[in-house]
Amino acid sequence: MTQSKRETERKYEAPSADDTQWLPDLTGVDGIVSVVEKGLDELDAVYYDTVDLRLATASAALRRRTGGLDAGWHLKLPESGDSREEVQAPLSDEVPETLHDLALSRTRGAELRQVVRIRSTRSTWHLVDSGGSVLAELSLDKVDAESLLGTATQASWTEMEVELAEDADPLLLGIVDKTLRKNGIERAGHSSKLSRALEETGTGASRPPDRPAEGVKPGSAADEVLKYVDAQVHTMVNVDPAVRRGHPDSVHKMRVTCRRLRSTLRSYRSVLDREVTDPIREELKWLGGELGAERDQEVLVERLSARIGASPRELVLGPVGARLQVWNVARASEARQRTLDALLSPRYLALLGSLAGLTQQPPLRRKAARKPEKVMVKAILKEYARLAGRVAHALELSPGTERDAALHQARKAAKKTRYSTEPARASLGKPAKRLGKRVKAVQRLLGEHQDSVVARDALRNLGLAAHAAGENALTWGLLYGQEQAEADRCERELPAAWADASKPGLRKALVR
C-alpha cells in the first residue's frame, strides 16, 4: 500500500551542524510565534537508479530509508517550482512493485540497482503559529555520502532545509527565504542531497546538458522543433504516474500529448527524417488508441449523465440512471485495464526509448539547419491547405452519416493545423498564435459535433436495450433528439467559424 504527499522545500548551505549560533531567530516572521526543537534523528538512505542514472537525470529519486518518522521506500517525482510529490511505501527488502511501475516512464524498464548511500544526522525544529499548528519544518543535516557504483568514493557536507507543512501558505517559504538570506545564509547549489552526492562522489552527473541533441544549430528550425518535441516527451513521462493511479484528466493529457507529437513529426518532416519518425508516429497512434478507450468512455458517460440530470423529472421514465450505470461499469473497467496493460507493455517502454533517442540524437535533414521562419511557415500552410480542402468537402455534402464522417476528418485536420503552429510561436510570434487560436475554435465546434455523433450511437443502443428489456425507452429517444439538435447547431455555426479562421490576412501575417 502506498500513500502520497507533496513536499515543498528549499535547501541552504550551512556552516556547521554542531554549533547553531549562526541560525537566525525566525520568531515573528510571518505568523511564526515559536520555534520548537524536536531533537535528533539518524537517517540512513540507499538510493536506487539505473546504471546510467535515468531517474536522477529526470529529477526523480527512489530510496529506501530507515530512521525518522517516515522510514520506508520513497519515490520522489518532480513538480513545478520548489515542490515534489513523494510516494511512500512500507519497508521491504526489494523495491515495491508499485513504486517500480510508477518509475517506469523514467527508467524505461532498465534494471534498478543501488547507486548511492546517504547517512544524515538531522536536527529538527518546528516553526509554529499562534494556534499551535506547524507551518514549516527546519532541519539541519550533517551528511555523509558514499558511492555504491563500483567505487568507494565518499563525501561529507552540512546543509539546511526548510519544508512547508502541506496546508501552509506557499508564500511563507519565500518570506523565510528572504530572512535567511538577509542573515547571510545562501541557497544550496544543488536541489537535492542525491544530486550533490552523485557529483561529489564522482558517481555521475544527475542532469544532462540543456540541449543534449547532437548536431543541432542554435536558433535553427531543428532547434525550435526539438524544443517542442522535448517538452512533449517530458509531459508524457511526467504524467505517466498519474495515469497509472487514475488521477483525473491524466489520461486525457497523455492522449493529447501523443497527438501533439504525432502531428509535429508529421508536419515537420522537412526537419526530421521520416524514415525514423514515421515508425514512432505509428507507435504514438497505437498508444493514443489504447488510451482513447478509457478517455472516450469518461467523456461519453459525463455527457449522458449531464443530459439525464438536466431533463425534467417527468420525462425520465424507467430506470434510466441505473441502466446507464450498469452499461458503463463493464465498459469503463475494460477500458481502464486496456490503459494499464498498454503502460506495462514492452511496446510502450520501447516507444519511450525511441522518443528519448529522437531528442538526444535527432535524425536531421538538410533543412534542419535553416532559419525556422520559412521552414515553419511552409509546414503550417501545408497543413492549412489540407484543412481547407476537408472543410470545403464536408460543407458540400448533405446532412447525414457521410457528412458526419467528413466533418470528423476535418476536425482531425484542424488539430494538425493548430498543433503545427505551436512549435512556431517562438519564431513567428503572434501571427502563429492567432492562426492557431482561430483554428482551435473550428476544432472545438467540430469536436462538439463529433461528440454528438458518438453520443447518438450510444443512446440508440441504450434505447434498444431498454426496449428489449420491457422498459420505457422514451427518455433515450428524447436525449437522442437533443443530441441531434446539438449537431445541427454545430453545422449551422461552422461556416461562420471557418470564415473567421480562413481569412487571408491570418496566413499573410505569417510571412514577414
CATH fold for the domain made of 371-512: CHAD domain (1.40.20)
Alpha-carbon distance of 213 to 230, in angstroms, equals 10
Q: Topology of 216-365 in CATH? A: Four Helix Bundle (Hemerythrin (Met), subunit A) (1.20.120)
Strands 113-128 and 134-147: antiparallel
Please tell me the predicted confidence (pLDDT) of residue 20: 83
Pairwise CA distance, residues 481 & 477, whole Å: 6
pLDDT tens digits, residue range 389-431?
999 999 999 999 999 999 999 999 999 999 999 999 999 999 9
pLDDT of residue 135: 96
List C-alpha distances in Å: 420 to 193, 481, 497.
Answer: 41, 37, 19
The torsion angles phi and psi of 335, rounded to 5 degrees, stand at -65, -40
Per-residue pLDDT averaged across 58-68, rounded? 96
* Predicted local confidence at residue 16, as pLDDT: 80
Percent of the chain with pLDDT over 70: 98
pLDDT digits (tens, 9 = 90+) for 128-178: 999 999 999 999 999 999 999 877 789 999 999 999 998 899 999 999 999
The confidence score (pLDDT) of residue 202 equals: 85
Position 466 pLDDT exceeds 80: yes
CATH architecture under which domain 3-200 falls: Beta Barrel (2.40)
Query: Residue range 79-87: average pLDDT?
Result: 91
Identify which of 117, 208, 185, 189 has the alpha carbon closest to the alpha carbon of residue 155: 117
pTM given for the model: 0.91
The predicted structure's pLDDT at residue 205: 58
Lowest-confidence pick of 5-14, 208-217, 330-339, 400-409? 208-217
- Distance in angstroms (rounded) separating the CA atoms of residues 226 and 54: 20
- The C-alpha cell 517559504 sits at 173
For 80-96, what is the mean pLDDT?
94
Give the pLDDT score at 207: 47
Query: Is the confidence at residue 210, as pLDDT, over 60?
Result: no
Task: Choose the weakest-confidence range: 10-24, 175-189, 226-240, 261-275.
Answer: 10-24
Q: Is the pLDDT of residue 483 over 60?
A: yes
- The average confidence (pLDDT) of the chain is 94
Query: Is the per-residue pLDDT at 512 higher than 60?
Result: yes
Where exactly are the structural domains of the chain? 3-200, 216-365, 371-512
Per-residue confidence (pLDDT) for residue 204, from 0 to 100: 75
pLDDT exceeds 60 at position 212:
no
pLDDT, tens digit, for every residue of 239-295? 999 999 999 999 999 999 999 999 999 999 999 999 999 999 999 999 999 999 999
